[in-house]
Structure 1
């Protein structure tokens, strides 16, 4: 049995990978042998810098694809364009995610539809698009970024919570369809990671409490995380690497918390 985590000759598509967790995942997969397709919003110069940095640091091919995942057709087209550029897609990481915080009676229609589109519908569309080639090769790895809020709820986050519960259901269903044909599908459930998404929420908390960003961040992590620290994006990426490896071929349909012990306590968070 091959117990290595080498991804040599594999091509990975990571959505939402121009910053934060997604960028850490793209870098980690490339560092372990995969060519990577980076997707997400960035200026041409920013995208070029990201791609150049990955290629220089890892020696693997990288390319940026700016497809807007709020449109279902764009999500499917993303897979087609990556396949055209690299010849195949072996690994799909559905990491793109957005957030909006508002009370249920004040939650805007536009934000509801946008969050469901990016966090859930895009994952379905990319999975559907990549499925035929993975099936033909009898090998594929799909990893979806969920959240501890795939299991719990938190006020003022109706669309986000709904989308993350949905991504966990999608993960399990896809795992069943792929089980006999060499395709695994799993979810990772990050805890407190100081990504640009979380930073905005910490900034809002700091403003509401009239305290510094640093104090607000410390209050959040001390209240919610048993480890009393933020999870580093590279720790999330390491979990994804394992699930994409050959040694994890019998692991499918799971939701892996990488959360500093939050799920142990039942604490609710992002």
Structure 2
């Protein structure tokens, strides 16, 4: 599989899943647009590292995923720079946990904006070019929470269910244009963010590291193993191959059996 001469935008890609996906695409020869917040020097090091390691062009967009005009401008800039956007990965996301009656409305709106509205704006911007070229891949990072709910995550669960619906609708609209639209639904993924939560949880609950991992974080995942960012990236790469041309409108679980029941 080669993405040589293709261009991919991966939102929320300065760390974690998004960065792993961007690097995997670059390894396959794609030019990449990375996006997200973080330390400017660290982001530049990642961007330059991708170019040096894989011999592709990598650019950084600071577009705010809560602002539709900035998202659409990011796509326009990428099309101007590279001539086309062939692959879009909607990965940016945030979380907040609170009971519905205590959920801050501004937090709700921000989660919906970044986790769901951003995907709509990015898709609307890339679709005309993909339709014209009769080829494209749109992949969104959903979640096990696109299929099942958990308490106190009303905005996140609603947004991820929305990603599932948006994916299906776009897949039907683009079915005859050579453009596939799918989402990947991981369970708990081992990222620096998850790792950093462990000591605080150990202290708060009086548990060992192993108890936090198995009885708190992985309680819903029958395999008792984290999904890795590289596993998610590998599936994203597969969805870009010719072998996956008839996979569209799919919500692909990668959750260690969480949603099997």
> Per the shorter chain, which TM-score range?
over 0.9
Aligned pairs (5 A) from 1:78-117? 78-117=74-113
Unmatched segments (≥5 aa) in structure 2 = none
Deviations 1:226-264 (A, max 9, x none): 222111100000000011112211110000011122222
Match of 1:26 among 17, 22, 28: 22
Aligned pairs (5 A) from 1:1-270? 5-199=1-195, 202=198, 205-211=201-207, 215-264=211-260, 266=261
Normalised by the length of structure 2, the TM-score is 0.95
Q: How far apart, CA to CA, are the structure 2 residues paired with 1:204 and 1:165?
A: 30
Q: 1:41 to 1:222 in 2, by over 3 A?
A: closer
Does the 8 Å contact 2:148/2:259 carry over to 1?
no
Does the 8 Å contact 1:99/1:197 carry over to 2?
no
Does the 8 Å contact 1:16/1:97 carry over to 2?
yes
Root-mean-square deviation (Å):
1.6
Shift of 1:74: 1.3
Shift of 1:21: 0.5
Normalised by the length of structure 1, the TM-score is 0.92
Q: How far apart, CA to CA, are the structure 2 residues paired with 1:157 and 1:199?
A: 20
Q: How far apart, CA to CA, are the structure 2 residues paired with 1:92 and 1:222?
A: 30
Partner SS for 1:77: helix
Unmatched segments (≥5 aa) in structure 1 = none
Partner SS for 2:225: coil
Does the 8 Å contact 1:221/1:228 carry over to 2?
no
Q: How far apart, CA to CA, are the structure 2 residues paired with 1:201 and 1:106?
A: 23
Does the 8 Å contact 1:12/1:29 carry over to 2?
yes
